[in-house]
Amino acid sequence: MSQCSRPMSSFLRDLLNDLRDAVWSLRREKDELVVAVREGQAMARDVDAARRELAVLKKHVAETDAKLVPLKEQNRRLEKDRCMLFFVLLAICATGRKLFPRRPKTMWGPLRRRSPSGFSPSSTAEEVTAGFDGSGLVAVVPPVGLVLKHAEFSRCGECTF
């Protein structure tokens, strides 16, 4: 552009200044739009990558769901079997309790049991020695707090010191 040597009117000067400002404004707007387009393209690439990843994840979920169906069925059967076994065990326990009722527990319970000989700690001397001839035997009987003494059983249930 060549400069004009003649004087410009204020109208032309204002018009040229407005034109220059409009060009600069359009250049700035173009630069902003170029940056926005680049950002949009980057976002579009990110969205495409996310869509591909989503497709892969959906495929994985479908495969997992396909594996889960038989497992749920097996779990349902096992849960049913567990409940059945529980009720069978409960019935066995109830039946066993009827067949073998528990005796009340007491402190002397274990002492009341009969030994293989048929006697218990609560058996009397007469019961133990019934039908036994102990003549000629010597028994050592340790009384509580006294010196040991010899006792001779002449007959069942009778002793001499």
For residues 125 and 47, state if they share a domain.
no
For residues 47 and 118, state if they share a domain.
no
Question: In terms of pTM, does the model score above 0.75?
Answer: no
- Positive or negative torsion for Cα 121, 126, 128, 134: positive
For residues 89 and 118, state if they share a domain.
no
For residues 67 and 14, state if they share a domain.
yes
Closest CA to 152 of 92, 142, 140: 140
Q: Is residue 4 part of a domain?
A: no
For residues 36 and 75, state if they share a domain.
yes
CA dist., res. 19 & res. 27, Å (int): 12
CA dist., res. 69 & res. 78, Å (int): 14
Tell me the average confidence (pLDDT) per consecutive run of 10 residues in the chain, 161 residues long. 67 92 96 96 96 96 94 94 91 73 58 65 76 72 50 46 45
Q: Is residue 1 part of a domain?
A: no
Residues in the chain: 161
Q: Name the domain count of the chain.
A: 2
CB hemisphere CA count around 126 (13 angstroms) = 0
